[in-house]
C-alpha cells in the first residue's frame, strides 16, 4: 500500500494539486453521455457559428421577401404599413429591454464590499508574507 502524497497549500492557504501525468484519452469521449453526443454533437463542428449566421441571414431575407410579396396591410397608423416597420419595432423593443437591465442592475446590485473584508485563510496556515 502506497502512501498518498502530502497535501500542499500555497501562501494563501489554497490546496495545490500534485502534478500527475494526464492520460492520452480525449476528455470529451469518456465523460459525455451518448445521448448528449447524439443530440448536441453538432455544436462541436468547427464552422457551426458561420453556418448558423448564414442560416439566420437567409431566414431574414426570406421573411423580408415574404413581407414584400404576400403582405397586404391595413394598419390603423399609416407608418406601420412600412416594409421594415415591425422588424425595427421589434429590434427597438428588444434593445430597450436588454439595455434597461444596466440601470436596473446599478439600482439593485449590492456593493462589492457589502459583507466587509473577510479573512478567508484557514486557521492552520501561517501568514507567509
Rounded to 5 degrees, φ, ψ at 97 are: -65, -40
How many Cα atoms are found within 13 Å in the side-chain-facing hemisphere of 92? Answer: 6
In this prediction, residue 75 carries a pLDDT of: 79
* 3-state SS assignment for residue 90: helix
pTM for this prediction: 0.45
- Structural domain boundaries in the chain: 28-71, 72-109
Between 8 and 4, residue with greater pLDDT: 8
Q: For the residues 74-93, what does the mean pLDDT come to?
A: 82
- Whether 96 shows a pLDDT value over 90: the answer reads yes
Residue-wise pLDDT tens digits, 105-129: 889 988 877 776 666 677 777 765 5
Q: Which helix (H) or strand (E) holds 8?
A: strand 8-9
Average pLDDT taken over every residue of the chain: 80
**pLDDT at residue 109 in the model:** 87
Asked whether the predicted pLDDT for residue 25 surpasses 60, the reply is no
For the segment 38-64, what is each residue's pLDDT rounded down to a tens digit?
899 889 889 999 999 999 999 988 988
pLDDT, position 129: 54
Amino acid at each position: 500500500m502506497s502512501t498518498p502524497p502530502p497535501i500542499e497549500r500555497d501562501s494563501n492557504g489554497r490546496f495545490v494539486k500534485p502534478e500527475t501525468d494526464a492520460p492520452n484519452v480525449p476528455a470529451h469521449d469518456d465523460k459525455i453521455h451518448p445521448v448528449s453526443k447524439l443530440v448536441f454533437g453538432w455544436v462541436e463542428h468547427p464552422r457551426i457559428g458561420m453556418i448558423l449566421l448564414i442560416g439566420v441571414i437567409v431566414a431574414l431575407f426570406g421573411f423580408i421577401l415574404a413581407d414584400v410579396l404576400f403582405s397586404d396591410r391595413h394598419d390603423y397608423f399609416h407608418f406601420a404599413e412600412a416594409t421594415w416597420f415591425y422588424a425595427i419595432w421589434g429590434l427597438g423593443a428588444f434593445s430597450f429591454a436588454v439595455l434597461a437591465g444596466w440601470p436596473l442592475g446599478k439600482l439593485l446590485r449590492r456593493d462589492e464590499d457589502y459583507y466587509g473584508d473577510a479573512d478567508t485563510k484557514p486557521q492552520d496556515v501561517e501568514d507567509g508574507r
